[in-house]
Amino acid sequence: MAAGGVRADHSVMSERGFHAISDDLSETWLEDWAGAGVLEIEAYLAKHAAFLAFLERTNPS
């Protein structure tokens, strides 16, 4: 329980869901981890590029 007797809601702490320790013990854990990181970076860069394109369309020089 959280301070003050109020139950804390941690249901939205992670979008990835539960983590199983067996995933860390697999032989491909490093490749899986790096691949997930690369996908996250690519998604971030795509959003950034889309935002820059939006700014260029709304404010032509």
The pLDDT of residue 2: 52
pTM: 0.56
Q: Average of pLDDT values for 56-60?
A: 87
Q: In this prediction, what percent of the chain has a pLDDT beyond 70?
A: 70
CA quadruple 18, 24, 26, 30: dihedral, nearest 10: 110
CB-based contact 32:25 (threshold 8 Å) = no
Q: Average of pLDDT values for 38-53?
A: 97
The pLDDT of residue 40: 97
CB-based contact 26:32 (threshold 8 Å) = yes
Q: Is the pLDDT of residue 29 over 70?
A: yes
φ and ψ of 17, to 5 deg: 85, -160
- Which residue bears the tokens 């899986």? 32
